[in-house]
Amino acid sequence: MDVAEADFLDVLNVHVTAAHALSRHVARRLLERDDGGHILLIASMASLIGLPQVSAYAAAKSALLGLTRSLAAEWSPRGVRVNAIAPGWIETPMLAQAMTADPARRDKVLARTPLGRFGATDDIAHAAVYLSSPAARFVTGACLAVDGGASIGF
Please state the rounded mean pLDDT for residues 66-81: 97
> Choosing from 44, 56, 57, 90, which is the catalytic residue?
57
Q: Which CATH architecture has domain 5-152?
A: 3-Layer(aba) Sandwich (3.40)
What phi, psi does 85 have (nearest 5°)?
-115, 135
The structural domains of the chain, with segments of one domain joined by +, span 5-152
Does pLDDT of 154 surpass 70? no
- Please give the mean pLDDT across all residues of the chain: 95
Task: Write out 55-68 in H/E/C secondary structure.
Answer: HHHHHHHHHHHHHH
CB 80 within 8 A of CB 36: yes
CA dist 1 and 152 (Å) reads: 28
CB 36 within 8 A of CB 82: no
Give the pLDDT band of residue 151 (cuts 50, 70, 90).
very high
Q: Indicate the pTM of the whole model.
A: 0.92
* Annotation says 130 is catalytic: no
CA distance readout (Å), 146 to 46, 47, 63, 87: 12, 13, 18, 5
CA dist 69 and 97 (Å) reads: 34
pLDDT tens profile 45-69: 999 998 888 999 999 999 999 999 9
